[in-house]
Structure 1
């Protein structure tokens, strides 16, 4: 039972980064709060301009894309887009925008996506929600950013009244996330289970899949260590197809930074991975969902930084696999301390543990599928996740 009902504003970048997984990451906050009786609006106000399909002085493609996505969920009257160059507002009139901000009780800035304007600073509860633990805290505690265009997170963070993180082990002695000046609270990805009522059975031959960014950002240097991405962890499982020939392995890879990784991708093909385009697998939220539905289970690594720092981070994508009744085999970031493993969900630290989990799922897929959905219901149901978030304010 939540303590509070009122107007909630969700900040994100659905229009800016329209990959299917990104859409689901943010839209489930909007859908979740709406289903719980909140008056909820989505605001995209990033000052990043633009990314896909637009020229530097024309964001019309981004705006149209955002409108179509919101409309597909019945939320076409629940979004606002602020164009940084023209200062125009789309989705609502300027008067409506100001009234929404004035009446809002809570502003949730997911992934540090939105800037903080005067209108938002008047909202009494302003939540910075860190979905990229360790990377976020490094940026807050140093001058490093992923790109020169990004503002300093230290400046952004101080304008929020509450700070939440997906780094669920932040208070554990072995976790290396620097807390800094903030009292971080723990949260996780909410899943709207009604949107993941999968009726499709997997193909007779099991297919283990994942979607991932190979190297979504540069390495950071912090605490006399380097902090990297998935290109450094994927070699742990790269030859699994050679070891389990009765199973198909499929991967969609995005954000490779440059062409220096072509040799790595050639190796994956030689090992037996099927590489599909990210456009095919996650060009929009429907393709993303269908890619998961067409899978038997997920096999995935985590960013090197999540693993080294023992953050306890758990993938939003893996939570969707579980909700779809697809078992998950995921590299351990310390998350195994917080979730049940061994039936429907498996953690691994090396290739042999991953292989053992794959064979267990192959031997009893139906049982593991059923338990995967039960884990999603127990740990990621939006009513529990968002209710806990509100209750902890």
Structure 2
């Protein structure tokens, strides 16, 4: 395979929580393992989130610290950048703005992971931007509803990829209106999960999740409302610990007292997720 220069774009610096970080790291490391020349860039007008102070501000010191640490750990040191498009002069951490612009011009492919990257004049010099959709259904519904901003945004990409393997097939109910969606899957570098440590006698099955988005990202289509939150679907599996005969520990923020107690009655151990995910 011919070595390519690939830019991965995402939001793991501005939203530095465990699931978001791991999703991006698998792309970076996976492409490195395929012998490609890989860079990571965040170039956004969105304000970053600091999970230690629980604040969204225009300061990007924490985001830069996170990206620098990850770059050292996963071998993309001197190959990352955070550009604060929301500040005058577009200041950066990591690579300079000049280098960012050069990468946009020269990259063989630019991966817009999760479709979170806004466009700007610098980025739009490239005609090799690939949209990677991790939450299928939403954009297809917006297209069907004629949302102009979504349609224009997607059309600026060279190709559209989605985790929804049925999108565009007869089994997918939402019309695609001429948009070609290519199926893909989340890359997983399996040895990142390997350890030489054996499980302790008190090891349990664990997960961490945000319980509710308060309806902010719910979407309706043809009379049916689709929820973004995990809460309703998670309740279908509330009896899992009893059925499996194992201990399940869930780090999440269930604020409803009755629901919290219902999980505990079914054998779940519940923990606060805030510090565990940072």
| 1:31 equivalent in structure 2 | 29
Distance 1:264 1:152 in 2: 38
- C-alpha deviations, 1:332-387, integer Å up to 9, x for none? xxxxxxxxxxxxxxxxxxxxxxxxxxxxxxxxxxxxxxxxxxxxxxxxxxxxxxxx
| 1:240 equivalent in structure 2 | 240
| 1:119 equivalent in structure 2 | 122
Higher share in helix: 1
Write the mapping of 1:59-98 to structure 2, written as runs, cut at 5 A.
Answer: 59-86=60-87, 87-98=90-101
**Offset of 1:26 from its aligned partner?**
0.5
2:16–2:49 contact (8 Å) kept in structure 1: no
**Offset of 1:97 from its aligned partner?**
1.7
1:127–1:160 contact (8 Å) kept in structure 2: yes
Distance 1:25 1:172 in 2: 26
**Offset of 1:152 from its aligned partner?**
4.2
Distance 1:120 1:103 in 2: 11
Give the structure-1-normalised TM-score.
0.63
1:109–1:128 contact (8 Å) kept in structure 2: yes
Write the mapping of 1:196-207 to structure 2, written as runs, cut at 5 A.
Answer: 196-204=193-201, 207=204
2:10–2:113 contact (8 Å) kept in structure 1: yes
| 2:110 equivalent in structure 1 | 107
Distance verdict in 2 for CA 1:193–1:174, change over 3 Å: same
**Offset of 1:79 from its aligned partner?**
0.7
* Structure 2: gaps (5+ residues): none
Distance 1:140 1:88 in 2: 34
Q: Please tell me the root mean square deviation across aligned C-alpha atoms, in Å.
A: 2.4
Q: Tell me if 1:208 matches 2:205.
A: yes
Distance verdict in 2 for CA 1:55–1:29, change over 3 Å: closer
Distance verdict in 2 for CA 1:84–1:262, change over 3 Å: farther
Write the mapping of 1:222-301 to structure 2, written as runs, cut at 5 A.
Answer: 222-228=221-227, 229-244=229-244, 246-253=245-252, 259=255, 261-283=256-278
Distance verdict in 2 for CA 1:129–1:250, change over 3 Å: same
2:101–2:123 contact (8 Å) kept in structure 1: no
Which moved further from structure 2: 11-20 or 272-281?
Answer: 272-281
Distance verdict in 2 for CA 1:48–1:234, change over 3 Å: same
| 1:315 equivalent in structure 2 | none
Give the structure-2-normalised TM-score.
0.86
**Offset of 1:5 from its aligned partner?**
3.0
Distance 2:217 2:95 in 1: 37
Residue 19 of structure 1, aligned match among 17, 20, 29: 17
**Offset of 1:47 from its aligned partner?**
1.8
1:139–1:152 contact (8 Å) kept in structure 2: no
Give the number of the structure with larger relative contact order, counting CA–CA contacts within 8 Å between residues 6 or more apart: 1
**Offset of 1:108 from its aligned partner?**
0.7
Aligned residue pair count: 270
Higher share in strand: 2
Distance verdict in 2 for CA 1:193–1:163, change over 3 Å: same
**Offset of 1:118 from its aligned partner?**
2.4
Distance verdict in 2 for CA 1:33–1:18, change over 3 Å: same
| 1:287 equivalent in structure 2 | none
* Structure 1: gaps (5+ residues): 145-150, 284-393
| 2:190 equivalent in structure 1 | 193
| 1:362 equivalent in structure 2 | none
Distance 2:150 2:72 in 1: 32
